[in-house]
A and B are shown apart, each in its own frame.
Chain A
Amino acid sequence: MTYRAEVFVTLKPVVNDPAGLTIKGGLHALGFDSVIDVRSGKYLVVTLDAADEGEARVRVEAMTGQLLANAVIEDYRIELQQESLTLSPSPAGGGGQGGGPS
């Protein structure tokens, strides 16, 4: 099965986010006075093969803990869904992608 994991990485609430503050200042300058706060972060989309959703989640959690997020300063949230065939970026036919690991 092919899964698509969306990984949202954000600075922990206690960590100052100067980029977010600067963006907030820009929004205020544009007249969006109702903006109370802006926090910036990273958005990553990981497409992977796994036997089932549970295995996919374990793998994405592991890769996020090891590399995608730094637990010293960042929190993360993972949203996982099975890749729909019609939206698959893999080239159709040709067998180039093979079958995933068994």
Chain B
Amino acid sequence: MNTGIVVFPGTWSDRDCAHAVGEVLGQPACYVDHREENLDDLDLVILPGGFSYGDYLRCGAIARFAPVMEAVTDFANRGGLVLGICNGFQILQEARLLPGALLRNASCEFRCEWVNLRVEQSESAFTLDCRPGQVLRIPISHGEGNFFADPQTLDAIERNRQVVFRYCAPDGRVTAESNPNGSLSNIAGIANARGNVVGMMPHPERACEDLLGGSDGLAVFRSAIHALARVAV
């Protein structure tokens, strides 16, 4: 799985992603500069977390006009696998590759903690290895992860089964107490209709080794490997 990790000015999780994909999973991974216009050799593009362009104006608003984003859009439209994590999720929404928006956390606090995620569907390229209802323990680290969409859009997302992860209690129950940021319907991650583009606020790359407190995040990256193998067959 040739993985390209996009680096914008202000990206901070690029090395964590490279470590998870390259060192832990042993897959070829490279960094992709924000000025790059060619992604032809890649199977997976990751937009990592961070504060691209200082989060000025809105999180992800400036990054979406970086030259690489035109290439990412073409790549996604051709069926390439794209994973946006945290700030990457915000960028994908600003680029209209995913619906909705991410508002300031309802608490107005930056939240950095482990959360539980219920896998809502296993058809997306990044949940293929999971079973619906499975609970993954993965950390969040954000101040603006409060998922919002207007009622019609939210209805469409739910109807098309585009919700991939919801914040939940350890036993999988979706409760108000387990929602760390006020997201509508506890939404933590969504896919596009085709399932090849996923955005999520939690950081799977920070949960790939027991030494770091857990390895549930591996399921996200292993699913991508299997999604590619499925296409290749």
Q: Is the CB of B104 within 8 A of A67?
A: no
Over the window 3-33 of chain A, the binary record of Cβ atoms lying under 8 Å from chain B Cβ atoms (1 yes, 0 no) is: 0000000010011101100100000000000
Question: Across the interface, do B103 and A67 meet the contact criterion of CB distance under 8 Å?
Answer: no
- The closest CB in chain A to the CB of B104 belongs to A18
Q: Which of B95-132 contact A (CB under 8 A)?
A: 100-101, 103-108
Residue from the list B58, B62, B65, B108 in contact with A18, Cβ < 8 A? B108
A73-B101, A73-B148 are contacts. A67–B65 as well, Cβ < 8 Å? yes
| Smallest CB separation, B144 vs chain A (Å) | 10
Q: How far is the CB of B190 from chain A (nearest CB, A)?
A: 13
Does A68 touch B at the CB level, under 8 Å? yes
Interface size on A, residues (CB 8 A): 13
The verdict on B41 contacting chain A, using a C-beta distance below 8 Å, is no
Asked if A72 and B108 make an inter-chain contact with CB atoms under 8 angstroms apart, the answer reads no
B182 — which chain A residues lie within 8 A by C-beta? 16, 18
A70 on the B face (CB < 8 A): yes
Q: How many residues of B contact A (CB 8 A)?
A: 20
B61 touches A15 (CB 8 A): no
Which residues of chain B are within 8 angstroms of A68 by Cβ–Cβ distance? 57
Are the CB atoms of B104 and A19 closer together than 8 Å? yes
Would A16 and B108 be within 8 Å (CB), given that A67-B57, A67-B61, A70-B94 are in contact? Answer: no
Decide if B193 is an interface residue (CB 8 Å cutoff). no
Q: A42 to chain B: which residues have CB within 8 Å?
A: 57
Q: Tell whether B156 is near chain A: CB-to-CB under 8 Å.
A: no
A11 proximity list for chain B (CB < 8 A): 103
Proximity bits, B61-104, A CB within 8 Å = 1, else 0: 11001000000000000000000000000000110000011011
Chain B proximity of A39: nearest CB distance (Å): 13
In-complex Cβ contact of B148 among A15, A19, A22 (8 A): A15
Query: CB distance A70 to B101 under 8 Å?
Result: yes
- Measured CB to CB, the residues of B under 8 A from A are 57-58, 61-62, 65, 93-94, 100-101, 103-108, 146, 148-150, 182
Q: A72-B148, A73-B101 are in contact. List 8 more A-B contacts (CB 8 A).
A: A11-B103, A14-B150, A18-B104, A18-B105, A18-B107, A19-B108, A70-B58, A72-B150
A-B contact pairs, 18 of them (CB 8 A): A11-B103, A15-B148, A16-B106, A16-B146, A16-B148, A18-B103, A19-B104, A19-B108, A42-B57, A70-B94, A70-B101, A72-B93, A72-B100, A72-B101, A72-B149, A72-B150, A73-B103, A73-B148
